Amino acid sequence: MKYTCEICGYTYDPAEGDVMHNIAAGTSFENLPADWTCPVCGVGKDQFKPAE
């Protein structure tokens, strides 16, 4: 499932992963490290909500 940052609107797509933080494609949002941060605005996972 995709998750969207409530602060800046960035959407984490598990199919893409996060190149900036060396997160491999296929990594679910739940499996992102606890200290993972939004690659755009820098906030933590707790600021993300499931994308509509």
Partner 1 sequence: MKAVKITDKVYWVGAIDWNIRDFHGYSTKQGTTYNAFLILSEKPTLIDTVKKEFYPEMMARIQSVIDPKKIKIIISNHSEMDHSGALPETVAAVQPEEVYCSDMGHVDLSAQLYPDFEMKVVKTGDKIDVGGDTISFVEARMLHWPDSMFSYLEKENILFTNDVFGMHYATSKLFDDENNEIDWLYEAEKYYANIVLPYSDIVLRFLDTVTKMGLSPKIIAPDHGFIWRKDPSKIINLYAKWAAQAPKNKAVVVYDTMWGSTQKMAEYIADGLREGGTEVKLMSMHSCHRSDVVTELLDSSGLIIGSPVLNSEIFPAMADVLCYLKGLKKKNLVGGAFGSYGWNPAPVNSLAEMLKAMKVEQVAPVVSSKFVPNAEVLQQCRQLGLTVSQKIAEKLK
Binding site for partner 1 (CB under 8 A): 7-9, 20, 40-41
Closer CB to partner 1, 8 or 25, in the complex: 8
Number of neighbours of residue 30 by Cβ within 10 angstroms: 9
CB of 8 to partner 1, least distance (A): 5
Closer CB to partner 1, 9 or 26, in the complex: 9
CB of 1 to partner 1, least distance (A): 22
Amino acid at 26: G
CA–CA dist 28, 2 (Å, integer): 8
C-alpha distances in Å from residue 33, one per residue of 10, 52: 18, 23
